[in-house]
Amino acid sequence: MPSITALHAPDGFVSGPIAIVMWIATLIVVAYAVRRTNRTLDDRAVPLLGVMAAFIFAAQSFNFPVGPGMSGHLLGGVLAAILLGPWAATLVMTAVIAVQALIFQDGGLVIMGANIFNMGIIGTLGGYAIYRGVANLLGGEERGRLPAAAIAAWCAVVAGAAAMAIELGLSGIVPIEIALPALVASHALIGIGEAVITVAALAFIAVARADLLRMRDVAT
């Protein structure tokens, strides 16, 4: 039985049929993201995509402790979506996770579809939807940006963990009733770190380069 405390999963974590289903779902979403981004992306936003991908890639290399014998690292999907919009951010996260798997063997090739879906697509599309909803409830993005980002970042991590638990259960690797509480509990703590880093990055950008907070308008 594999360890059920990891979200960035290696091959063998899920069954072949589930891996195929996740690849299909991921390819459909990524293909649509490519179409949307090609149609709407302004040339001024292209360098920011590369910078964001490099930042997330580097930031994911640093782990932070969240409890005895447990650590986490930034996922970055919500941060990327807030700055770039959800569709461009989906492509950034897909590129980051693919490079990690193909070059650094961080996560397997067979399970890459599930990893992209759990960490990238849920984090960008789902996280951004939560961000916009919470920001609107708080009176708009200018007023609610940081608390909305914190809530969305935490939810994105926990939702990705829940998706991984469901995939494990459907694969017959670990019963859902075991995998779901284990993964959600551990990633509820990791999500706090994700929220703190996301808010800190946005607060720094607001002071140092506030214009970047408006780049989403030319990337979507």
Domain limits of the chain?
A: 16-219
Distances from the Cα of 91 to the Cα of 31, 59, 106, 124, 158, angstroms: 9, 17, 18, 10, 21
- pLDDT band with cut points at 50, 70 and 90 for residue 218: low
Name which of 5, 215, 13, 214 is nearest 111 in CA terms: 13
Residues 6 or more apart whose CB falls under 8 angstroms from that of 24 comprise 113
Instruction: Say yes or no to pLDDT of 128 above 80.
Output: yes
Name which of 199, 175, 193, 26 is nearest 97 in CA terms: 26
Q: What is the mean pLDDT of the chain?
A: 87
User: CA 187 to CA 80: how far, in whole Å?
Assistant: 20
What's the pLDDT score for residue 7? 58
What's the pLDDT score for residue 2? 45
Comparing 212 with 84, which gets the higher pLDDT? 84
Q: Where are the beta strands (DSSP E) in 7-139?
A: 63-67, 70-73
Tokens of 112: 């890459």
What's the pLDDT score for residue 114? 94
Instruction: Say yes or no to pLDDT of 28 above 80.
Output: yes
User: CA 8 to CA 21: how far, in whole Å?
Assistant: 18
In CATH, the number for domain 16-219 is 1.10.1760.20
What's the pLDDT score for residue 62? 75
3 and 90 Cβ atoms separated by less than 8 Å: no
Tokens of 9: 């999963």
What's the pLDDT score for residue 68? 55
SS3 annotation, 152-173:
HHHHHHHHHHHHHHHHHHHHCC
Instruction: Say yes or no to pLDDT of 107 above 80.
Output: no
User: CA 133 to CA 124: how far, in whole Å?
Assistant: 14
Give per-residue pLDDT as tens, 51-83: 888 888 888 777 766 655 555 678 899 999 999
What's the pLDDT score for residue 3? 47
Instruction: Say yes or no to pLDDT of 1 above 90.
Output: no
- pLDDT band with cut points at 50, 70 and 90 for residue 15: very high
What percentage of the chain has pLDDT greater than the value 90?
Answer: 57
The half-sphere exposure of 23 on its side-chain side, counting CA atoms within 13 A, is 13
What's the pLDDT score for residue 164? 92
21 burial via Cβ count (<10 Å: 0-12, 13-18, 19+): middle
Name which of 88, 83, 119, 85 is nearest 101 in CA terms: 119
- pLDDT band with cut points at 50, 70 and 90 for residue 126: very high
Give per-residue pLDDT as tens, 158-195: 999 999 999 999 999 889 999 899 889 989 989 999 99
